[in-house]
Chain A
């Protein structure tokens, strides 16, 4: 369905990359999605459970309109989309060119297993003699050298880990389809020169590399000898020692590079000279190896280098934009001081390892048992901030997601234990529980109520209990009480590190990194880099939870799309196929059955004539043919010829791996003018491999599969997929930074936008905000954005205007607006974005209103700006966090208050270093790289005192008449009262949304219990309303800062663009309908529909289904008492007949 000439490259196939790719593909661009591992899904392929549902839900990211362009099954298993070319085990090899027209080349890792021949039978695994750590289970189990990268891929092709494979050939002999070609001829002629002054090093390297690696090895004992060797004999890879007498390695490297600039050189170094090796990489060394060598690590590394060097890069692709979505990597606790015994105590695991322990596909099959001895786990301790908020591991940052995943893991573990009737203690040891998302605090409260213990404190060390039975943790409670806790599993909540390969990728793309090695984005943007057209998606610029990664991914897609569009990428594809299928609606089914014999492997011993005879007993089956290989071009051509000759109106193909055929069937449909929905591929290959109890097992199995397919096809609807017209125009409600950004994002793609603002000016909260914490000025952002909006030819700004009514559905909405003069008019649009913003919450707490010295953070911002406060005239300032927040009824974190407090504390301290500032807080929410400002604030001498809900500080207006404020509180670490005489008390009251209920109802969307916008699904559809076509962004969606608000706006715009991109938008082929003659208008189906796709048409007195909004879930059909509601492709006759065939 690619409809536009524009193309994009997405690097990384985790959920961020998938979201970006899908957004761009749904808009009509062609996307190449590359992933360095052999599977998509990233880290999520290892994680089974997500909060707050404690389930998965990734499939909710799949397209909701034009559904047939994409696979519609579990997204963890795989993805097929007409506009997305997914290339696994592939990396970027080079990039050149300018935004809008980058030229890229890719390198795809060779693998000895041919995916087109591998049928996933697993016979190879049974014979493989090699055992190695299974990365999928985070090393908690072993696997063979030939393995499935993940257990759930579709298609699931075995791969060989060439680094550990001994090339023994057993798998090759065992493979029934000849899919494995082990012998790598290239290695025998690949000459490696080992340069080292020590004979023993040279000899052992030669032996390892020749015997175990299969390479050809030459040796040189000095620099001059090495240079002579490469001059006379050449070599393809040089392993070069750094410390040699006479000419040292760095000098040899320089000279060798002068002679042969492209010669790959890997330095060999002792630990003490690692820095020299790093320097050597700057002058052209490829990598370095650290002595003493471990052959188990060295040989795979050399093989990897060989493969990179010997794998040819693919043809050059031209893409308009590049989306970097390389994810993150995680801290390895064994690298640090490791007082928790990770690596030496088997029952100390990382959070990722624990996710695998929870998983049904994990090392224990999801049973909660100890890795050390398999005994049931009864007490689990989570230790937070491992490799985060720790300057000793160079981590002056928070990793943002660990608090929530620890709570989730505790909850899931408890549910698991409860299910098994087991007792489980769960404790989380933390510094601040960063429950900063809008639903997080309640999730934490729920977990606490269910028995998860939260212990504020960092454990010094984990040691085995003297009895040897379990592990012992000594910690100190806030009041100084020392406790020794026991646990039989300790989970280390490991923090973020830059993704593997992030440095090389950003270097290649010329992208700056922040001090910790993550992508540096532009001011106010989470996605844009200093290079236009190269954007960061997902967690590549810093770890994010699923929701934020998905938002970021859609925002990145938008930014990429703007570049592609700007370079002309939205021009329609000239040869865009306008498919006209033959109208077969009024014909009886005529089915052609094609059976792939797989070179007689499937049909061996099968009585073909008898099978044909039995199938043709069905009058709908007109022809049955056997083909040798439908997967080959010749086989496919034979099939096409057969169809053209016999003109069937249904085609059933018995072959293997049905998912592989999705794209091919669509092309075939165009070629033979038959709707691909009337063609089906069924898997007879698996049936042929499964032993059965009957006399002729294979035949029975194959026949059953075929008759089931025939039954399905006979009833397949011949009617064309419905489409609905689209008004290619958008409406944005709210003219703050989010609304303006959303409007511009859409208008920049050439579509008209109505921007509705109830006040008399654009800008919203940006009017009172002046600086970001990093000093960035906000006013230029406001001016620039407002000017662009005001002058944009595609944007109609409606000030002092409000929405009074609206109705409609995706593609067509009618909104009635009323301006300041009371004039009403109707606007028509295909999508709506709500960006109505929010404001600082009002309060009466802490004596607010009794003194003009008790102010809010917003007032402080204003008073600092206009000079009403002179920091030099102040001696003591008290700031109180979480005012009326994170407790019922406003039980959510507003996320911006802690950073705002830090910003103001730093500003005050900067102006007056002698000023005493005391911050009362519950948990400092300085997430991500904001942590470094928390550190700076403490360094500047700001005092932070935690309080609890039952011990809030108290503020009294001075009785002495000098207007000073007296704050009394409890200092919990010393367990003593504290009395503060303060000049100002500043309250952080948080954000409340301004999302009027009538507006929400007009567009048929929901609010959450705190009156924020209710997402369709907080993780997987984070800016969508459940009702397709309506989106939200900015702080009416959730509390967030400017950059984060802009990201939601871009994401919402990108989601809206998918809908308004085309004149008509098609539904999926599986949608619900109504047999009107049976319908009693009871309207139960309307209530049951989760997508608001059904409504009562008052004129016709009938139930109508919006085909685009309907997702074919079948809830309506299930509740309908008369069988009037049905789902195309699943009507009763059809399903019954398929079941009959299956049981036959």
Chain B
């Protein structure tokens, strides 16, 4: 204890929870909490900053808006949805966390996420590591060529970029092409083995989307739109999200 008492009534309490409810189907079931704690017991962020998903929802329900829109805990949530998965009332706690993030001034949001989002906005790759379309294309072609030359049985392996009319459009986490290019190969081999007709896009290839984690809706939308746009432009039928 020791913290200030929670005040209830007579004036109508805050609207943060209500605002979030309005945005979600079924109000995200945010009112239905049975306070059973299943969410908290499964959450990897439970206990950090003295917070857990149940406390967070409870604070929102009791109108402690100031606290939930300022706690840094919201940045520790990995949006994994383990809490929703087991919740007997299927309460969308991550959506509430997301809106709490969005309440932060953009410049005050965690530097790592913020920087990664800004990086993705730098060019048309959508890569959080800032790799350009040209760099990506070069790395992919280089690695594929190496496989064809050195690995028996994969002389025909293809890792196309911007192949018009491919059936599948694949995205790719930037970490591999930038730091561990060989890690891309196993997936290529699988696709090769099953005979999939696929392609990367030179634009919008970056699979990670830190703007989503940043709760920067506009930028999130921009990154997604770039990638989807490229898939459309190439005439692909199926978007395979590898993230």
Chain A positions within 8 Å of B, measured between CB atoms, are 337, 339, 385, 389-392, 431, 456-461, 474-478, 480, 482, 875-876, 914, 916, 918, 935, 938-941, 943-944, 946, 964, 968, 971, 973-983
Contact = CB atoms under 8 A, between A and B. Distances in A.
23 contacts: A389-B34, A391-B89, A391-B90, A392-B88, A457-B36, A457-B38, A460-B39, A460-B41, A475-B37, A476-B52, A480-B40, A914-B12, A916-B9, A935-B32, A940-B31, A943-B8, A974-B55, A974-B62, A975-B1, A976-B6, A978-B8, A981-B7, A981-B10
Contacts of B58: 971, 973-974
B41 A475 contact: yes
Nearest to A979: B5
A458 B35 CA distance: 9
B50 interface: yes
A875 B10 CA distance: 6
A688 B40 CA distance: 67
Contacts of B85: 337, 339
Contacts of A385: 88
A977 B1 contact: yes
B86 interface: yes
Interface string B20-48: 00000000010111111111111000110
Nearest to B47: A482
Given A476-B52, A973-B55, A974-B58, 5 more contacts: A391-B32, A460-B42, A460-B82, A971-B62, A978-B8
Interface string B68-92: 0000000000000010011111100
Contact of A876 (B9, B31, B36, B41): B9
B38 A458 contact: yes
Contacts of A935: 32, 89
A980 B37 contact: no
A61 to B, nearest CB: 37
B8 A459 contact: no
Interface of B: 1, 3-13, 29, 31-42, 46-47, 50, 52, 54-55, 58-59, 61-62, 82, 85-90
A968 to B, nearest CB: 8
A410 to B, nearest CB: 20
B168 to A, nearest CB: 22
A457 B8 contact: no
A878 to B, nearest CB: 9
Contacts of B4: 976
A938 B52 contact: no
Contact of B6 (A477, A478, A939, A974): A974
A979 B50 CA distance: 22
Nearest to A432: B34
Contact of B41 (A431, A476, A914, A975): A476
B35 A979 contact: no
A1124 B50 CA distance: 77
Contacts of A918: 8
Given A480-B52, A916-B8, A918-B8, A976 B37 contact: no
A385 B7 CA distance: 33
Contact of A943 (B62, B87, B88): B62
Given A475-B41, A482-B47, A938-B32, A978 B6 contact: yes
Nearest to B50: A480
B42 A982 contact: no
A337 B36 CA distance: 17
A876 B8 contact: yes
A914 B54 CA distance: 24
Nearest to B83: A460
A474 B87 CA distance: 15
B3 A941 contact: no
Contacts of A971: 6, 58, 62
B231 to A, nearest CB: 26
B81 to A, nearest CB: 12
B59 to A, nearest CB: 7
Contact of B87 (A392, A459, A914): A392
A977 B52 contact: no
Nearest to A473: B41
B17 to A, nearest CB: 9
B9 A461 contact: no
A385 B8 CA distance: 31
A385 B35 CA distance: 14
Nearest to A477: B37
A874 B58 CA distance: 24
Contacts of A940: 31
Contacts of A941: 31
Contacts of A456: 37
B10 A876 contact: yes
A938 B31 contact: yes
**Which residue, A914, A918, A946, A976, has most C-beta atoms of chain B within 10 A?**
A976
B36 A979 contact: no
B34 A973 contact: no
**Which residue, A935, A939, A974, has most C-beta atoms of chain B within 10 A?**
A974
A941 B62 CA distance: 11
A474 B5 contact: no
Given A482-B47, A971-B62, A973-B54, A476 B8 contact: no
A946 B35 contact: yes
A979 B8 contact: yes
A978 B1 CA distance: 11
A973 B32 CA distance: 16
Nearest to A914: B12
B33 A938 contact: yes
B54 A460 contact: no
B63 to A, nearest CB: 10
Contacts of B41: 457-460, 474-476, 482
B88 A389 contact: yes
A968 B5 CA distance: 9
Contacts of B90: 391-392
Contacts of B86: 337, 339, 458, 460-461
Nearest to B9: A876
Contacts of A981: 7-10
A457 to B, nearest CB: 4
**Which residue, B8, B52, B59, B85, has most C-beta atoms of chain A within 10 A?**
B8
A389 B59 CA distance: 23
B143 to A, nearest CB: 38
A455 to B, nearest CB: 10
A1080 B52 CA distance: 76
A959 to B, nearest CB: 16
B13 A916 contact: yes
B65 to A, nearest CB: 14
A973 B42 CA distance: 16
A944 B33 CA distance: 9
A590 B230 CA distance: 107
B87 to A, nearest CB: 7
A370 to B, nearest CB: 24
B6 A482 contact: no
Contacts of A978: 5-8, 62
**Which residue, B46, B55, B86, has most C-beta atoms of chain A within 10 A?**
B86
B59 A431 contact: no
Nearest to A973: B58
Contacts of A944: 35
A876 B63 CA distance: 14
A964 B58 CA distance: 26
B34 A476 contact: no
Contacts of B31: 938-941
A982 B9 contact: yes
Given A461-B42, A916-B13, A974 B59 contact: yes
B57 to A, nearest CB: 9
Contacts of B11: 875
A921 to B, nearest CB: 11
A964 B90 CA distance: 37
A391 B38 contact: no
A946 B33 CA distance: 13
Contact of B9 (A431, A482, A875): A875
Nearest to A978: B6
A979 B6 CA distance: 6
